[in-house]
Amino acid sequence: MILNLPVVAPVDLTLAEALRAKLDGKAKPLGSLGRLERLALQLGLIQGRLDPRIGGVCVQVYAGDHGLNAEGVSAYPSAVTAAMVATYLMGRACVNAFAAVTEVEVGVIDAGVDADLVSHPDLIDAKVRKGSRNAAREPALTAAEVAEALMRGVQFGAEARADVVALGEMGIGNTASAALIMHRLLPASLEDCVGLGAGHDAAGLARKMAAVQAAGARSLAKAPLDVLAEFGGLEIVMLAGAAIGAASTGKVVLVDGFITTIAVLAAIRLQPAVRDYCVFAHASAERGHRLVLESLDAEPLLDLGLRLGEGTGAVLAAPLLRAAARLLTDVADLSEVLAGSAG
């Protein structure tokens, strides 16, 4: 497959001064809304307007399995991935509950679940293959599989009917894959990248580290596409494509936790201007997340100790984007308030 990624243009900074002036002129003390003011400025720059609008928000939950899980990198069997996909489709997972409260539309994409999933109107079948290969012993994906997953993700991100595309994932063993990608693309030591993941104890963490070290020793890949082929999961690769696709069409990319941030890191390494369109929802409790956020000069909106994935943190942050946009569109100017008091 020919890889023809869309070019992502940097945001136009022409409006920055006017946006700052508009924020400073609102009926509030200068800078008193802190991070929300910086978020409002970013939203205005992404949309190229002084009155940004955040209407529809969707979360795309990409699911895939990992051959590396055969090495014991997770406390759970790979079959849990398919079981959780079924739970999303029943509307009974955490992301569904939070999305109902925050008015976010949930979409589920099978990027590479190691099972034959039952057809469902809310499930997109984009399966490239049934799970990645065991990265501790061989490349996880072929170059063609990486290209196919990336381009499918680009399509889903670009075609989303929403102002904001939130990114979520499900894949047992994917913190190990993400740690390897972070290790090479940041770069950082494996010790700084590998955390407990979902439910590991000390012995489980030792097994995970041994497997990740074996995978890292097997390949010296550093180029983004090569790293994704050696260590990536299909849901991570497709997420990277979705970030590129959404950014290329001027949408806000709302990034969830550790795994989605690593997918976005890969997207940024492929198309650096993707960074301009990213809002980072929260600081995960998973080891390595704060380090990669710092490297991307990212200022997360929330810090709730989350490490679930699914897009839960991104969904919870969605109302803050709406609030930031309304700061520019709905709040009176100080001049209006003073004129009213004078009258």
List the catalytic residues: 310
97 Cβ contact partners less than 8 Å away, ≥ 6 residues apart: none
Rounded Cα distance between 320 and 329, Å, is 14
Tokens 């020793």 belong to: 217
Q: How far apart are CA 177 and CA 172, in angstroms?
A: 10
Instruction: For residues 229 and 218, give the distance between their C-alpha atoms in angstroms, rounded to a whole number.
Output: 13
For CA atoms 84, 90, 92, 93, give the dihedral sign.
Answer: positive
189 CB neighbour count, 10 Å cutoff: 10
Helices (H), the chain: 16-24, 34-47, 79-90, 94-102, 143-159, 174-185, 190-193, 202-218, 224-231, 234-248, 258-270, 289-295, 312-329, 334-342
Q: What is the DSSP string of 133-160?
A: --TTTS-SS-HHHHHHHHHHHHHHHHH-
- Bridge-based pairing of strands 278-280 and 252-255 is parallel
